Structure 1
Amino acid sequence: MRTPRWLPVLLVATLVLAGTAQANAATTNHPPTAPPVLHGIDLDNVTVLDLQHAMDTHRLSSAALTTFYLNRIRTLNPSLHAVVETNPDALKDALASDQQRQRHGGRGPLEGIPVLLKDNIDTADREHTTAGSFALLGDKPARDAFLVQRLRAAGAIILGKANLSEWANFRSTHSSSGWSARGGQTNNPYVLDRNACGSSSGSAVATAADLATVTIGTDTAGSVVCPAGTTDDVGIRPSLGLVSRGGVVPISAQQDTAGPITRNVTDAAAVLSVIQGVDPRDPMTAAAAPFANRDYLAALRPGALRGKRIGVWRGGGDNPDADVVLAATIATLRRLGATVIDNVDLPGVQDVLDSYFPAALVEFKHDINAYLAETPGNHPADLAGLIAFNQAHADVEMPYFAQETFEQAQATSGDESDPAYQQLRAWATTTVRNAFDSTFATNRLDAILAPTNKPAWVTSVQNGDDLTDLTGASEPAAVAGYPDLTVPAGYDSHGVLPIGMSFIGGRFSESTLISLGYAFEQASHVRRAPTFLPTLP
């Protein structure tokens, strides 16, 4: 494929916004840390409901809020690399929201609320959707992703696109989470030389650092909840099919979903209430029809843990800091009236996690080829074209790690009618679902609790992620297609790096998980604002 004429110009423009894409996170300067206060409102500690009241009473406007975030992005993003571009129409849209409120009232809890989208979610405005790669930079999707249509209809302001692990971390086995050719290396706002985990790291960092009110991430095997956990955010990976994947750059239709990343459970409930829905372009959403109109704000009950039965799964790995936080969380749950059953089992799950990856390779080739075929523009036509593009622009796209995962996927048939593929996927999904379902039933559980993450590791773009002692239950929940809610729960031995706890439930049990997470949040009040330390002592 020939090099598009626009590539050199847009390359320069993108690197100016993102900062030096080749820089290691450890060399990042300490950014200014002015508190996010606007008109006397501490934006780090309010909910979208508080913001609605402030705008209804004329203490605040969407235009002022949007302007504040745009200015904060300009100030902090050179150190964080959390945002790849801002929406040139954001302020105009905010002014229109203010007029809507003045003339007709707000349309709901997201009216006038600035939202950042992960840069693999299509928008049909003047923004780009690139999955972090220059291969898609010149294109314009024909339509908004379904979830973006829902956000706009609810009055939300699309503020821009958040950085991510390029191609949602499905390009290389040696990648650094949060690195993309477009955006450089995303840095954790608690300690800047630390990683933010998972492909939705830009969304999570932007939320934690108050670069937007809320953000949207996507999750195939933990890329909403792990970034949220490492940055002291709330994150929800919804049940498979509750939120449409229409207009989202795919990895696997059998596991992909989008979900909210927020600073509190209230905001996560408000966002999920809006972005859920049945989409004719995504057949997986048909099963969600009986559940897709729930108001999750109604699930916010401080006493929800009393009388509930929570199982603790310790099979996701062992980390000393996470173990301490888990013990404290269990004590809090018991104090709040929950019965905790420790050391529950998920039989057969580890065998699946060790073996299902070949199915994901087939799915990626099939799904990315379909996405590229229906997306207009002068981009590579298929996965083979993406591989060739990366080879032709290796100095920009592959300065630190290669594309082994792309090449493994390309070597498959990409044929989802292949009986061998179907058998592997069916075994993986069925085994993990049966493991969860049997454990829920045997122990009469309302949810399973597990650490979301270990403390963030030191970022090394040259060596990739540090996966030693990686803890969490996000991958089993993702393979099952079951919901996973992470909430801030504690910190490492330094008292600086966040550790989240995940509440996992059966399919479409989001209301229950939100109730439990809210009750824990309101009793513990763990979350603290980022410290922006350059490194730990």
Structure 2
Amino acid sequence: MVSSGLLLCSALVASGVLGESEWTNPFPVKKCNGVVIEDVDIDTVQNYFEQKVLSAEQLTQCYIDRINLMNPYLHTVIQINPDALSIAHALDAERAKTGARGPLHGIPILTKDNIGTADKVPTTAGSLALLNSTVARDAHVAALLRLAGAVLLGHANMAEFADYIAYDNYAEGYSDRGGQTRNCFNGTQQTSGSSSGSAQSVVGNLCMAALGTETDGSILLPAFHAGIVGIKPTVGRVSRAGVVPGSLSQDTVGPHARTFRDAAYVLDAISGVDARDNATFAALVSGAARHANFSTAVAGADALRGAKFGIPWDVLWSSSAGGVTHRAAFLAVLQKLEAAGATLYNNTNIPRIRELQDPYGWGDALDTPQELWARTYLHVDLYNGHRRVPARARAQPDPLVPRAARVGGRAQRQHGRAGRGHDLGQRRGQLRARERDARRHGRGVLPREGAPGPPESHQALIATQLWRHELSKSGIDAALTHTTANGTLVMLDALLVPMAGGGLFDAPASGLPAAAHYPAVTLPVGQDPWQVPFGLGLWGTAFSEAALIRYGSAIDAVVGWRGKPMFYAYNTTRIPFDPRWPGFFDTPS
């Protein structure tokens, strides 16, 4: 039976009049102890605390109440920390006695379910296989949040095992343990992933901020689908110790928040060297570890005067994903930046990008042989990482049984296109071959990692991964060092990339910084006809988070777009599906 929410939403989409005037928000944010908490930032909440009009315990209770109300429909939270209220109470008492530890004191924060917390909440990566697993100590980032005075509110839902559980035709944000995460703007549409619950919990006003993790796109893509700020740090900026691994080489942990300042506060808290993660020593060697106050990098519109940004047109901007609706909105944003004093340099292209990137979304370049797919060599990372998980956590019943196809996920975006400008027969053939392979094994990707091949195949795949890493790193650095038509060398402050699309056709805006291990940020700039937000991304070189936060926050001050989620079709039980393809909006009605 089709839910009434889906019927109404479908009718509004079909008529082209999906808008706030046609729908009443079923989940308005109530005041908490008489004060407004809807979309408030951390500084505002700290002022509430100091004025004693709100306590951390009261705020935590308000978020718990809201989670209990909405989660049966949205599935953004896997489990609330049963000790959250007692933790908040203790932090209130500490504040009264000795003052606040810092900006995160008493702030309720959700962590993605693959980030270990040594409390009563099991760390399961969304899987029933790890339902009874416990960890002996916090992940390093969780321990640092506690040290900063944050209230660990619970675990956010995620795409199970960070998307490694699925093959093709997979709805992002689904886990066996948490169910299907819904987009707060429109329940029929994608959340992207794999940090789906983290991003949607922030925009849904279920927490103040959240932690996500990223191997390739898992912080950035959910952030723009939620219309919030996401920061994907350089690999090595933040420890991965205690995080269920996806890729030992590419994984990183970063914040989802409503503002750059809030995200910077969280990044300040979780950054630093950790003896359990060798990658963090790279920041120490480079001198980047000395910068630990990212919130001071937050700037206003004045920071755009004299700023120099590159527009890497080839593949990243030239893709028809999103059609004219997105392109017009992005053009308007770029014009605002120029009016604010920034200089934009077009065609600051990534060398050899067509060897690396699919122009129609997440995934490898067209015609890449299967043995060179990123997904193929990342499986070796996954296998090696999971071998390091303690035996007691691995020795759980294995529920990894075959799954029904779920339409519209990021895995399908890699090799399941449908649209103009493609050899559709070739693409469909690739997809069918992969589906046959999955069915022959009787389950998804993860169980196959138990037998990834002989050691020499590992070495070949690792060599391929290093090739992609070096090519991506040198490509971004080359684009940031731009030579104009008259031979002038210009050092760019950042590259600007579109963060748009949905479901099948995200903009190809995460793969290169992921492979390069470089930082990236995204901020919201608009909304599509399905009410799903889209954003603008900034890329930089290694350990350039401070610059990206500076310019990202300055752009945010100029654009100033924030969408209000209306929870269209919140009660749908259908699998999220995005009926978009390259050129969709260009198709005559």
State the partner residue of 2:238. 243
Q: Distance in 1 between matches of 2:299 and 2:76?
A: 33
Are residues 1:291 and 2:291 paired?
no
Q: Distance in 2 between matches of 1:377 and 1:408?
A: 19
Residue 202 (structure 2) aligned to one of 202, 207, 215? 207
Does the 8 Å contact 2:233/2:252 carry over to 1? yes
Residue 364 (structure 1) aligned to one of 375, 382, 405? 382
State the partner residue of 1:128. 122
Return closer, same or farther for 1:377/1:431 CA change in 2, 3 Å cut-off.
closer
Are residues 1:228 and 2:236 paired?
no
Residue 331 (structure 1) aligned to one of 317, 330, 335? 335
**What's the offset of the Cα at 1:504?**
0.8
Residue 55 (structure 1) aligned to one of 49, 56, 66? 49
Residue 82 (structure 2) aligned to one of 78, 81, 88? 88
Residue 545 (structure 2) aligned to one of 491, 503, 510? 510
Q: CA RMSD in A?
A: 2.4
Does the 8 Å contact 1:178/1:200 carry over to 2? yes
State the partner residue of 1:474. 510
**What's the offset of the Cα at 1:407?**
4.7
Amino acid at match of 2:238: V
Amino acid at match of 1:369: R
Are residues 1:300 and 2:292 paired?
no
State the partner residue of 1:20. none
How big is each residue's C-alpha offset from its partner over 1:190-236, in whole Å with a ceiling of 9 and x where there is no partner?
A: 01111111111111110010000101111111011111101111000
Q: Distance in 2 between matches of 1:131 and 1:526?
A: 32
State the partner residue of 2:477. 437
State the partner residue of 1:343. 347
Return closer, same or farther for 1:57/1:37 CA change in 2, 3 Å cut-off.
same
**What's the offset of the Cα at 1:371?**
2.1
Q: Distance in 2 between matches of 1:27 and 1:69?
A: 30
Are residues 1:188 and 2:183 paired?
yes
Q: Distance in 2 between matches of 1:91 and 1:85?
A: 14
**What's the offset of the Cα at 1:40?**
4.6
Q: SS state of the match for residue 37, structure 1?
A: coil
Rg larger for:
2
How big is each residue's C-alpha offset from its partner over 1:384-432, in whole Å with a ceiling of 9 and x where there is no partner?
A: xx8x5413xx5xxx34467432255334248599432332121110000
Q: Which runs of 5+ in 2 are unaligned?
A: 10-23, 357-363, 366-371, 407-437, 483-489, 571-577, 579-589
State the partner residue of 2:267. 272
How big is each residue's C-alpha offset from its partner over 1:76-125, in whole Å with a ceiling of 9 and x where there is no partner?
A: 11111101110000000000110111011000010000001111110110
Q: SS state of the match for residue 212, structure 2?
A: strand
Does the 8 Å contact 2:29/2:205 carry over to 1? no
Does the 8 Å contact 1:25/1:194 carry over to 2? no
Q: Distance in 1 between matches of 2:377 and 2:520?
A: 22
Q: SS state of the match for residue 38, structure 1?
A: coil
What pairs with 1:381-530 in structure 2 (closer than 5 Å)? 389-391=399-401, 398-400=403-405, 403-413=443-453, 418-442=458-482, 443-454=490-501, 456=502, 466-467=503-504, 469-493=505-529, 496-530=531-565
State the partner residue of 1:12. none
Amino acid at match of 2:333: T
How big is each residue's C-alpha offset from its partner over 1:8-38, in whole Å with a ceiling of 9 and x where there is no partner?
A: xxxxxxxxxxxxxxx9995899973222432
Amino acid at match of 2:251: D
Between the two proteins, the alignment pairs up a number of residues equal to 490
Amino acid at match of 2:506: L
TM-score under structure 2 normalisation?
Answer: 0.79
Does the 8 Å contact 1:36/1:210 carry over to 2? no
State the partner residue of 1:142. 136
Amino acid at match of 1:336: A
State the partner residue of 1:383. none
TM-score under structure 1 normalisation?
Answer: 0.86
Are residues 1:159 and 2:153 paired?
yes
Does the 8 Å contact 2:380/2:458 carry over to 1? no
Does the 8 Å contact 1:252/1:363 carry over to 2? yes
Q: SS state of the match for residue 547, structure 2?
A: helix
How big is each residue's C-alpha offset from its partner over 1:458-479, in whole Å with a ceiling of 9 and x where there is no partner?
A: xxxxxxxx42x43131111111
Return closer, same or farther for 1:364/1:524 CA change in 2, 3 Å cut-off.
same
Residue 252 (structure 1) aligned to one of 228, 243, 247? 247
Return closer, same or farther for 1:95/1:106 CA change in 2, 3 Å cut-off.
same
**What's the offset of the Cα at 1:179?**
0.4
**What's the offset of the Cα at 1:59?**
1.5
Amino acid at match of 2:511: E
Does the 8 Å contact 2:310/2:494 carry over to 1? yes
Amino acid at match of 2:384: H
Q: Which runs of 5+ in 1 are unaligned?
A: 1-22, 381-385, 457-465
